[in-house]
Amino acid sequence: MLWNHLGFERGARVGAERVLEWSGIRCSAPRAPGGARMCPLSGSGSARPPCQTVVVEQHRVAMTTNPSPTDKPAPGPLSAVAPWDLVSAGYAAESASIMLPFSRLAVELAQPAPGAHVVDVATGPGVLALELAPRVARVDAVDFSPAMLEQLEQRRRALGIENVFAQVADGQALPFPDGSFDVAFSMFGLMFFPDRARGFAELHRTLKPGGVAVVSSWAPVEQSPLMIHMFGALRAADPTRAAPQTNLLNLENPEVFVRELQQAGFRDVRVEPRTCSVEVRDPAELWAALVRGSAPLAMLKQRLGPAEWERQAAQARAYLAEQLSTPSTLSTTAYLGFGRR
Protein backbone atom coordinates (compact mmCIF):
# COMPACT_ATOMS: atom_id res chain seq x y z
CA MET A 1 0.00 0.00 0.00
CA LEU A 2 1.36 3.48 0.87
CA TRP A 3 4.70 2.21 2.21
CA ASN A 4 5.30 0.09 -0.90
CA HIS A 5 5.23 3.08 -3.21
CA LEU A 6 7.28 5.88 -1.67
CA GLY A 7 10.61 4.35 -2.58
CA PHE A 8 10.67 2.11 0.50
CA GLU A 9 10.30 -1.23 -1.24
CA ARG A 10 11.32 -2.61 -4.63
CA GLY A 11 9.80 -5.26 -6.85
CA ALA A 12 9.24 -6.34 -10.43
CA ARG A 13 6.29 -6.71 -12.75
CA VAL A 14 6.10 -10.13 -14.36
CA GLY A 15 3.63 -12.71 -15.69
CA ALA A 16 0.34 -12.84 -17.56
CA GLU A 17 -3.00 -11.17 -16.92
CA ARG A 18 -5.96 -12.80 -15.24
CA VAL A 19 -9.22 -11.53 -13.74
CA LEU A 20 -10.17 -11.99 -10.09
CA GLU A 21 -13.78 -11.69 -8.94
CA TRP A 22 -15.23 -11.58 -5.45
CA SER A 23 -17.83 -10.07 -3.19
CA GLY A 24 -17.10 -8.45 0.14
CA ILE A 25 -18.95 -8.25 3.43
CA ARG A 26 -20.17 -5.40 5.61
CA CYS A 27 -18.05 -3.99 8.41
CA SER A 28 -18.45 -0.98 10.68
CA ALA A 29 -16.38 1.10 13.05
CA PRO A 30 -16.97 0.92 16.82
CA ARG A 31 -19.27 3.42 18.43
CA ALA A 32 -17.87 5.96 20.83
CA PRO A 33 -19.77 7.09 23.94
CA GLY A 34 -22.92 8.89 22.85
CA GLY A 35 -23.33 6.76 19.75
CA ALA A 36 -20.94 8.52 17.33
CA ARG A 37 -18.91 6.14 15.21
CA MET A 38 -15.17 6.24 15.76
CA CYS A 39 -13.29 7.39 12.70
CA PRO A 40 -11.12 4.57 11.29
CA LEU A 41 -8.44 7.11 10.49
CA SER A 42 -8.60 9.50 13.41
CA GLY A 43 -9.63 7.18 16.21
CA SER A 44 -11.08 10.23 17.89
CA GLY A 45 -14.58 9.04 18.61
CA SER A 46 -15.63 12.69 18.47
CA ALA A 47 -19.13 13.78 17.59
CA ARG A 48 -18.01 14.73 14.10
CA PRO A 49 -15.14 12.45 13.07
CA PRO A 50 -13.55 13.20 9.70
CA CYS A 51 -14.10 9.64 8.48
CA GLN A 52 -16.56 6.85 9.13
CA THR A 53 -16.50 3.19 8.15
CA VAL A 54 -19.55 2.31 6.10
CA VAL A 55 -19.77 -0.60 3.64
CA VAL A 56 -17.97 -3.31 1.73
CA GLU A 57 -18.59 -3.78 -1.98
CA GLN A 58 -18.23 -6.20 -4.89
CA HIS A 59 -15.22 -6.09 -7.18
CA ARG A 60 -13.91 -7.28 -10.51
CA VAL A 61 -10.21 -6.54 -10.98
CA ALA A 62 -7.68 -7.38 -13.67
CA MET A 63 -4.29 -8.29 -12.24
CA THR A 64 -0.95 -9.29 -13.68
CA THR A 65 0.03 -12.54 -12.00
CA ASN A 66 2.09 -15.73 -12.11
CA PRO A 67 5.52 -14.50 -11.04
CA SER A 68 8.43 -16.90 -10.78
CA PRO A 69 8.58 -18.58 -7.34
CA THR A 70 12.28 -17.70 -7.15
CA ASP A 71 11.79 -13.95 -7.71
CA LYS A 72 11.86 -12.01 -4.44
CA PRO A 73 11.78 -8.24 -3.80
CA ALA A 74 14.50 -6.72 -1.67
CA PRO A 75 13.36 -5.96 1.90
CA GLY A 76 12.64 -2.28 2.53
CA PRO A 77 13.39 0.00 5.49
CA LEU A 78 9.99 -0.85 7.00
CA SER A 79 11.47 -4.24 7.86
CA ALA A 80 13.47 -2.35 10.53
CA VAL A 81 12.41 -1.27 14.01
CA ALA A 82 13.24 2.47 13.80
CA PRO A 83 10.34 3.68 11.60
CA TRP A 84 7.78 1.95 13.80
CA ASP A 85 9.28 3.27 17.02
CA LEU A 86 9.24 6.73 15.42
CA VAL A 87 5.54 6.61 14.62
CA SER A 88 4.28 4.44 17.51
CA ALA A 89 2.22 7.06 19.37
CA GLY A 90 0.61 8.45 16.22
CA TYR A 91 0.04 4.96 14.84
CA ALA A 92 -1.75 3.88 18.02
CA ALA A 93 -3.90 7.02 18.02
CA GLU A 94 -4.64 7.26 14.31
CA SER A 95 -3.87 4.54 11.79
CA ALA A 96 -4.37 1.67 14.22
CA SER A 97 -8.07 2.40 14.32
CA ILE A 98 -8.48 1.71 10.60
CA MET A 99 -7.11 -1.75 11.37
CA LEU A 100 -9.98 -2.56 13.73
CA PRO A 101 -12.58 -3.45 11.07
CA PHE A 102 -10.03 -5.69 9.31
CA SER A 103 -9.04 -7.26 12.65
CA ARG A 104 -12.68 -8.07 13.34
CA LEU A 105 -12.98 -9.68 9.92
CA ALA A 106 -9.85 -11.74 10.61
CA VAL A 107 -11.28 -12.95 13.92
CA GLU A 108 -14.53 -13.82 12.18
CA LEU A 109 -12.58 -15.86 9.63
CA ALA A 110 -10.55 -17.73 12.27
CA GLN A 111 -13.47 -18.41 14.63
CA PRO A 112 -11.36 -18.96 17.79
CA ALA A 113 -12.94 -21.00 20.58
CA PRO A 114 -13.49 -19.41 24.02
CA GLY A 115 -10.62 -21.44 25.50
CA ALA A 116 -8.19 -20.70 22.67
CA HIS A 117 -4.56 -19.72 23.15
CA VAL A 118 -3.69 -17.19 20.46
CA VAL A 119 -0.53 -15.54 19.15
CA ASP A 120 -0.64 -12.13 17.46
CA VAL A 121 2.59 -11.60 15.51
CA ALA A 122 3.64 -8.03 14.65
CA THR A 123 0.88 -6.88 16.98
CA GLY A 124 1.87 -3.19 16.87
CA PRO A 125 -0.25 -1.34 19.47
CA GLY A 126 -2.36 -4.47 19.91
CA VAL A 127 -5.49 -3.62 17.93
CA LEU A 128 -6.39 -7.25 17.25
CA ALA A 129 -4.97 -8.62 20.52
CA LEU A 130 -7.01 -6.29 22.73
CA GLU A 131 -10.15 -6.70 20.63
CA LEU A 132 -9.88 -10.49 20.79
CA ALA A 133 -8.87 -10.86 24.45
CA PRO A 134 -12.39 -11.02 25.97
CA ARG A 135 -13.28 -13.91 23.64
CA VAL A 136 -10.34 -16.26 24.32
CA ALA A 137 -8.25 -17.66 27.17
CA ARG A 138 -4.91 -16.00 26.38
CA VAL A 139 -3.24 -13.84 23.74
CA ASP A 140 0.54 -13.67 23.35
CA ALA A 141 1.26 -10.44 21.48
CA VAL A 142 4.72 -10.00 19.96
CA ASP A 143 6.38 -7.21 18.02
CA PHE A 144 9.95 -6.12 17.29
CA SER A 145 9.16 -2.50 18.23
CA PRO A 146 9.42 -1.78 21.97
CA ALA A 147 7.65 1.55 21.48
CA MET A 148 4.67 -0.15 19.84
CA LEU A 149 4.43 -2.59 22.75
CA GLU A 150 4.50 0.35 25.19
CA GLN A 151 1.40 1.65 23.41
CA LEU A 152 -0.22 -1.78 23.73
CA GLU A 153 0.56 -1.93 27.44
CA GLN A 154 -0.92 1.52 28.05
CA ARG A 155 -4.15 0.51 26.32
CA ARG A 156 -4.22 -2.91 28.04
CA ARG A 157 -3.97 -1.32 31.48
CA ALA A 158 -6.59 1.31 30.63
CA LEU A 159 -9.01 -1.41 29.51
CA GLY A 160 -8.28 -3.65 32.49
CA ILE A 161 -7.38 -6.61 30.30
CA GLU A 162 -5.35 -9.30 32.09
CA ASN A 163 -4.97 -12.09 29.51
CA VAL A 164 -2.78 -10.32 26.90
CA PHE A 165 0.95 -10.88 27.37
CA ALA A 166 3.26 -8.71 25.28
CA GLN A 167 6.92 -9.28 24.55
CA VAL A 168 9.54 -8.04 22.11
CA ALA A 169 10.26 -10.80 19.62
CA ASP A 170 11.20 -11.47 16.00
CA GLY A 171 8.29 -12.93 14.03
CA GLN A 172 10.82 -14.93 12.02
CA ALA A 173 12.04 -16.71 15.19
CA LEU A 174 9.17 -16.88 17.65
CA PRO A 175 10.11 -17.64 21.28
CA PHE A 176 7.48 -20.36 21.71
CA PRO A 177 7.59 -24.17 21.60
CA ASP A 178 6.12 -26.13 18.73
CA GLY A 179 2.35 -26.54 18.89
CA SER A 180 1.73 -23.77 21.43
CA PHE A 181 -1.33 -22.06 19.91
CA ASP A 182 -4.81 -22.76 18.60
CA VAL A 183 -4.90 -19.64 16.40
CA ALA A 184 -2.23 -17.32 14.96
CA PHE A 185 -2.67 -13.86 13.46
CA SER A 186 -0.43 -11.35 11.75
CA MET A 187 -2.26 -8.19 10.70
CA PHE A 188 -0.32 -6.12 8.14
CA GLY A 189 2.99 -7.18 9.68
CA LEU A 190 4.31 -10.38 8.13
CA MET A 191 4.10 -8.71 4.72
CA PHE A 192 7.13 -6.58 5.76
CA PHE A 193 9.33 -9.43 7.00
CA PRO A 194 12.71 -9.67 5.23
CA ASP A 195 12.08 -13.44 5.01
CA ARG A 196 8.35 -14.02 4.67
CA ALA A 197 8.87 -17.77 4.26
CA ARG A 198 10.36 -17.93 7.76
CA GLY A 199 7.47 -15.85 9.09
CA PHE A 200 4.87 -18.21 7.61
CA ALA A 201 6.89 -21.23 8.78
CA GLU A 202 7.00 -19.90 12.35
CA LEU A 203 3.22 -19.43 12.40
CA HIS A 204 2.85 -23.02 11.19
CA ARG A 205 5.40 -24.39 13.68
CA THR A 206 3.83 -22.78 16.72
CA LEU A 207 0.27 -23.88 15.89
CA LYS A 208 -1.26 -27.03 17.27
CA PRO A 209 -2.37 -29.64 14.69
CA GLY A 210 -5.63 -28.34 13.26
CA GLY A 211 -4.87 -24.79 14.38
CA VAL A 212 -5.54 -21.91 12.00
CA ALA A 213 -3.62 -18.84 10.89
CA VAL A 214 -4.98 -15.61 9.43
CA VAL A 215 -2.54 -13.14 7.84
CA SER A 216 -3.49 -9.83 6.23
CA SER A 217 -1.84 -7.71 3.56
CA TRP A 218 -2.93 -4.67 1.60
CA ALA A 219 -4.27 -5.21 -1.90
CA PRO A 220 -2.81 -3.19 -4.81
CA VAL A 221 -3.28 0.57 -4.65
CA GLU A 222 -5.56 0.58 -7.69
CA GLN A 223 -8.15 -1.29 -5.59
CA SER A 224 -8.13 1.47 -2.97
CA PRO A 225 -9.66 4.82 -3.90
CA LEU A 226 -8.45 6.10 -0.54
CA MET A 227 -4.83 5.40 -1.48
CA ILE A 228 -5.32 6.60 -5.05
CA HIS A 229 -6.30 9.99 -3.65
CA MET A 230 -3.42 9.99 -1.18
CA PHE A 231 -0.90 9.23 -3.90
CA GLY A 232 -2.50 11.89 -6.04
CA ALA A 233 -1.87 14.33 -3.20
CA LEU A 234 1.76 13.22 -2.88
CA ARG A 235 2.34 13.57 -6.62
CA ALA A 236 0.67 16.98 -6.63
CA ALA A 237 3.20 17.97 -3.96
CA ASP A 238 6.09 16.55 -5.99
CA PRO A 239 5.32 15.66 -9.64
CA THR A 240 8.62 13.78 -9.93
CA ARG A 241 7.30 11.03 -7.64
CA ALA A 242 6.58 7.88 -9.57
CA ALA A 243 3.03 6.61 -9.71
CA PRO A 244 2.47 3.53 -7.53
CA GLN A 245 2.93 0.18 -9.23
CA THR A 246 1.60 -3.18 -8.11
CA ASN A 247 4.39 -5.32 -6.69
CA LEU A 248 3.58 -8.82 -7.90
CA LEU A 249 6.38 -10.41 -5.91
CA ASN A 250 4.79 -9.69 -2.53
CA LEU A 251 1.46 -10.40 -0.86
CA GLU A 252 -0.32 -7.81 -3.01
CA ASN A 253 -0.49 -10.74 -5.43
CA PRO A 254 -3.00 -13.34 -4.12
CA GLU A 255 -1.27 -16.12 -6.05
CA VAL A 256 1.97 -15.39 -4.19
CA PHE A 257 -0.01 -15.22 -0.94
CA VAL A 258 -1.59 -18.65 -1.54
CA ARG A 259 1.69 -20.22 -2.62
CA GLU A 260 3.64 -18.97 0.40
CA LEU A 261 1.00 -20.27 2.81
CA GLN A 262 1.06 -23.65 1.08
CA GLN A 263 4.85 -23.82 1.01
CA ALA A 264 4.87 -23.26 4.78
CA GLY A 265 2.78 -26.40 5.16
CA PHE A 266 -0.71 -24.94 5.53
CA ARG A 267 -3.72 -26.72 4.08
CA ASP A 268 -7.24 -25.51 3.30
CA VAL A 269 -5.56 -22.31 2.08
CA ARG A 270 -7.58 -19.42 0.76
CA VAL A 271 -7.05 -15.69 0.29
CA GLU A 272 -10.10 -13.46 0.53
CA PRO A 273 -10.34 -9.73 -0.24
CA ARG A 274 -12.21 -7.45 2.11
CA THR A 275 -12.98 -3.79 1.48
CA CYS A 276 -13.96 -1.19 4.05
CA SER A 277 -15.15 2.28 3.13
CA VAL A 278 -14.65 5.55 4.97
CA GLU A 279 -16.62 8.75 4.78
CA VAL A 280 -14.29 11.75 4.54
CA ARG A 281 -15.82 14.89 5.99
CA ASP A 282 -12.70 17.06 6.11
CA PRO A 283 -9.88 16.47 3.57
CA ALA A 284 -7.39 18.43 5.68
CA GLU A 285 -8.09 16.26 8.73
CA LEU A 286 -7.83 13.13 6.58
CA TRP A 287 -4.35 14.21 5.54
CA ALA A 288 -3.38 15.08 9.11
CA ALA A 289 -4.59 11.74 10.46
CA LEU A 290 -2.62 9.78 7.89
CA VAL A 291 0.52 11.82 8.50
CA ARG A 292 0.28 11.26 12.25
CA GLY A 293 -0.10 7.51 11.90
CA SER A 294 1.92 6.55 8.81
CA ALA A 295 5.50 5.29 9.15
CA PRO A 296 6.30 6.01 5.49
CA LEU A 297 5.03 9.59 5.75
CA ALA A 298 6.90 10.09 9.03
CA MET A 299 10.08 8.93 7.31
CA LEU A 300 9.38 11.19 4.34
CA LYS A 301 8.77 14.17 6.66
CA GLN A 302 12.05 13.49 8.45
CA ARG A 303 13.92 13.16 5.17
CA LEU A 304 12.56 16.37 3.61
CA GLY A 305 13.09 18.67 6.59
CA PRO A 306 10.57 21.15 8.05
CA ALA A 307 10.46 23.78 5.29
CA GLU A 308 10.18 21.41 2.32
CA TRP A 309 7.77 19.14 4.14
CA GLU A 310 5.42 22.01 4.93
CA ARG A 311 5.56 23.20 1.31
CA GLN A 312 4.65 19.74 0.06
CA ALA A 313 2.03 19.19 2.75
CA ALA A 314 0.29 22.43 1.73
CA GLN A 315 0.20 21.24 -1.89
CA ALA A 316 -1.18 17.87 -0.79
CA ARG A 317 -3.92 19.45 1.31
CA ALA A 318 -4.88 21.75 -1.56
CA TYR A 319 -5.10 18.77 -3.93
CA LEU A 320 -7.38 16.83 -1.60
CA ALA A 321 -9.61 19.85 -1.00
CA GLU A 322 -9.99 20.26 -4.77
CA GLN A 323 -10.55 16.57 -5.55
CA LEU A 324 -12.87 15.58 -2.71
CA SER A 325 -16.35 16.88 -2.24
CA THR A 326 -17.48 16.51 1.35
CA PRO A 327 -18.65 14.17 2.53
CA SER A 328 -16.93 11.66 0.23
CA THR A 329 -16.82 7.89 0.56
CA LEU A 330 -13.47 6.22 -0.15
CA SER A 331 -12.63 2.54 0.18
CA THR A 332 -9.52 0.53 0.93
CA THR A 333 -9.00 -3.19 0.33
CA ALA A 334 -6.98 -5.85 2.11
CA TYR A 335 -6.39 -9.55 1.53
CA LEU A 336 -6.98 -12.00 4.38
CA GLY A 337 -5.05 -15.24 3.98
CA PHE A 338 -6.30 -18.33 5.84
CA GLY A 339 -4.55 -21.65 6.41
CA ARG A 340 -4.88 -24.66 8.69
CA ARG A 341 -2.04 -26.71 10.14
**Residue 156 above 70 pLDDT?**
yes
What is 194-210 written as a DSSP string? S-HHHHHHHHHHHEEEE
Q: DSSP class of residue 53? A: B
Indicate the number of domains in the chain. Answer: 1
Identity of the amino acid at 264: A
So what's the pLDDT on residue 176?
98
Task: Note the pLDDT of residue 67.
Answer: 42
CATH of the domain at 30: 3.40.50.150
Radius of gyration, alpha carbons of the chain: 19
How buried is residue 325: exposed, middle or buried, by Cβ count under 10 Å (0-12/13-18/19+)?
exposed
Residue 9: pLDDT over 50: no
What per-residue confidence (pLDDT) applies to 291? 82
Q: For position 290, what pLDDT does the model report?
A: 80
> How deeply is 103 buried, as exposed, middle or buried, from its count of CB atoms within 10 A (0-12, 13-18, 19+)?
buried
- Position with higher pLDDT, 293 vs 53: 293
Instruction: Number of helices (H) and strands (E) in the chain: give both, helices first.
Output: 10, 9
Query: Could you read off the pLDDT of 138-154 as tens digits, one per residue?
Result: 999 999 888 889 999 99
Domain range for residue 111? Answer: 5-340
Could you report the per-residue pLDDT of 224-247, keeping only the tens digit for each?
A: 888 899 889 999 999 998 888 888
Task: Calculate the average pLDDT of the chain.
Answer: 78
pLDDT at 248 over 90: no
Measured between alpha carbons, how far is 54 from 98 in angstroms, rounded to an integer? 12
More confident of the two residues 134 and 82: 134
Lowest mean pLDDT among 42-51, 128-137, 281-290: 42-51
Residue 13 exposed, middle or buried by CB count within 10 Å (0-12, 13-18, 19+): exposed
| Max CA distance (Å), the chain | 56
Structure confidence at residue 131 as a pLDDT band (50, 70, 90):
very high
